[in-house]
Structure 1
Amino acid sequence: MDTGFGSLHEDALNAILLRVPANDLVLNCSLVCKQWCDVLSSRYFWLQRLESESTRILESNRQLLLDNSDYDLCLYILKALACDMLPFNTNLIKNPCGQESRKHWLYREKTAGGQENGSRGSGVYGDSNIASYEEEEEEEEETLEELRRRYPNENDPEVYRYSRHGFSVEERPIGAEPIPEEAGVPTQHCFVTSYHTGVRRQLIDIGKYKMKDGVMQLLKPSICYSQWVASRGCDGRADLSLLVTSGEWKMSPKSLQWHTQQEGVEGKKWYKMEGRVEVPVSIDWIIYQSSGSDLVFWNGNYGPKTTACSLIMEI
């Protein structure tokens, strides 16, 4: 009498395999026997796996991945999602609130005359040479500990000023209300601007995920971008922009603007700036850019504060 795994009912085998790490399922378990291979070649099994880990997929895409005629592509997508190999449904912005100081951000400062400092580029998005951004990112990285060593006599120990780039990082939003839980950040850190327009950006390399042809066209992800913003009670403005590129193709930049004089904006409260972009083609790069300034030209960091920066390719 066979008392091994081969005698298990399919439902029991499913229940066991659903508890095995996804990478092991893909690399090893499908080679055990035909029965296991058949189970692991089922699109429904992989949807169960994603649901067991509370991985959210839009109902329309869930049905699409079950019913689409391109079985191999759908199975690849489901397995890759289970193994965290695709850039979907997760925040692609690193250091979204400044908890790691300036790490992962590239900075620019525009003076009152419009001249840019601290960059190789010019214009809204600067130099389009991707390699130059990557080199600059390495040069710009700096931890809070390094800032503390550089500015040991800072008057307010909870503010780390780096105003030559028009930005500082605060451990708590000085002069504004506490960041609400709804923003979803683990600390009260935020970026704060000054009287010169500070510009910070991140370059997200989508090409590094090496997705199969057809994934973007099938799923048609929406790019959802956002940040939270507040003022210190001084007049100021904040801008949030997005640029998407694919080979030689560039999407026209999408921009959002927040201003202290906008209707409904009250004092020192926090507000969410958010937008959504539909992109019909495969993507190579996404540039996420946040900028802002104090409009009264106070000496110091009295411009809008921003935190909870987010960029999610939603499927």
Structure 2
Amino acid sequence: MGASASRGRPARVPAPEPEPEEALDLSQLPPELLLVVLSHVPPRTLLGCCRRVCRGWRALVDCQALWLLILARDHGVLLPLARSCLPPARDGRPSLLGRFCERRPIGRNLIRNPCGQEGLRKWMVQHGGDGWVVEGNRSTVPGAPSQTCFVSSFSWCRKKQVLDLEEEGLWPELLDSGKIEICVSDWWGARHDSGCMYRLLVQLLDANQTVLDKFSAMPVPIQQWNNNVCFQVTHVFSNIKMGVRFVSFEHWGQDTQFWAGHYGARVTNSSVVVRARLS
């Protein structure tokens, strides 16, 4: 009976497997068209992956034409600035414009961990008294990425970052063009029951770390019983000398009561921003 039942069913024929689609070989495209295609790839992928495909792709990623296409489409306002101070076309340094497009150094804060979201990471610190700690803000700081701050102690506490402008994505011809400015800002304040002192020093350095320009501020100390006041210190380096390659940013704080613990100046939302002078 089993044999006759199976004889009555039609045999199942397996469906044919689809043929694999032929991969598109971009290397067959004319260089001009391939350049347009690559201009839609994220800069980090271009530099980290596409540049390694072959010599031809490496040459395209290293050429200025690709990055000028990307700038024109995604950052049009910066295109005249970049064009006006391009390095020589045969310059041996690869992908200078690529690093510029990837890291976007114009208009962003170059200071790392400005509010203490990551503790003391990225800062060179000198602990006075009981040292630096991170606490929540007692007054709202507008525009801060985090409402936290670094709090100093009863002896001078110091923090410092040195920014490598070329590593951030700028290049010497641009830095020396006279068409950029460096804007500095820092917020400092006190807790209501303790007075405090604060100092800021920002220096523009050449490749050998020689000081070419500087700005310093040491405002009048905040007195005790102050309603948690906070202040902003700002400065713009608008006439940047030839040769600037680094920015050194450092500030100090301490309290005026000399109390154990953390009652000194509270600093936060530090920023160093490079801006284009488009006028």
Query: Would you say same fold, with TM above 0.5?
Result: yes
Partners of 1:300 and 1:43 lie apart in 2 by 52
8 A contact 1:26–1:79 mirrored in 2: no
Query: In structure 1, what is the Cα distance between the partners aligned to 2:158 and 2:181?
Result: 25
1:218 maps to 2:177 = yes
Could you say which residue in structure 2 is the equivalent of 1:65? 82
| 1:45 pairs with one of 51, 69, 83 | 69
Question: Are the counterparts in 1 of residues 153 and 262 from structure 2 also a CA contact under 8 Å?
Answer: yes
- 2:130 matched to 1:164? yes
Written as runs of structure 1 = structure 2, the 5 A alignment for 1:63-142 is: 63-66=80-83, 72=89, 77-84=96-103, 88-108=106-126
1:237 aligns with 2:197: yes
Give the structure 1 partner of residue 21 of structure 2. none
Amino acid at match of 2:185: S
Contact 1:222/1:314, CA 8 A, preserved across alignment: yes
What percent identity do the matched residue pairs reach?
A: 19
| Aligned equivalent of 2:148, options 173, 189, 197 | 189
Structure 1 pair 252/213, CA: closer, same or farther in 2 (3 Å)?
closer
**1:202 has 2:219 as partner:** no
The CA distance in 1 between the partners of 2:34 and 2:246, in whole Å, is 44
Per the TM alignment, residue 11 of structure 1 is displaced from its structure 2 partner at its CA by 9.1
Name the SS of the counterpart of 2:125 in structure 1: strand
Q: Describe the shift of the 1:213–1:286 C-alpha distance in structure 2 as closer, same or farther (beyond 3 A).
A: closer
Q: Return the match for 1:309 from 264, 270, 274.
A: 270
For the 8 Å contact 1:47–1:78, the answer to whether it is kept is no
**Mapped partners of 1:293, 1:220: distance in 2:** 38
SS at match of 1:164: coil
Contact 2:196–2:255, Cα closer than 8 Å, also in 1:
yes
More helix by share: 1
Judging changes above 3 Å, is the alpha-carbon distance between structure 1 residues 214 and 193 closer, same or farther for their aligned structure 2 residues?
A: same
Shift of 1:260: 5.5
Question: 2: distance between equivalents of 1:207 and 1:62?
Answer: 19
The amino acid of 1:164's aligned partner reads D
The structure-2 alpha-carbon separation of the partners of 1:293 and 1:209, relative to structure 1 and needing over 3 Å to count, comes to: closer
- Which whole-Å CA distance do the structure 2 matches of 1:102 and 1:180 have between them? 19
The answer on whether the counterparts of 2:105 and 2:170 sit within 8 Å (CA) in structure 1 is no
Partner of 1:256: 217
Alignment root-mean-square deviation, CA:
4.2
- Check whether the contact 2:149–2:267 (CA below 8 A) recurs between aligned residues: yes
Offset of residue 291 of structure 1: 0.8
Q: CA-to-partner distance for each residue in 1:201-249, whole Å, 9 max, x for gaps?
A: 1233446569755232136432222222222123223222112221263
Please state how far the C-alpha of 1:18 moved relative to its aligned partner. Answer: 1.5
Unpaired runs of 5+ residues, structure 1, are 110-116, 118-162
Output the CA distance in 1 between the equivalents of 2:121 and 2:86: 44
Computing the radius of gyration over CA atoms, which structure comes out larger, 1 or 2?
Answer: 2
User: Where in structure 2 are there 5+ consecutive unaligned residues?
Assistant: 1-23
Q: CA deviation at 1:12?
A: 11
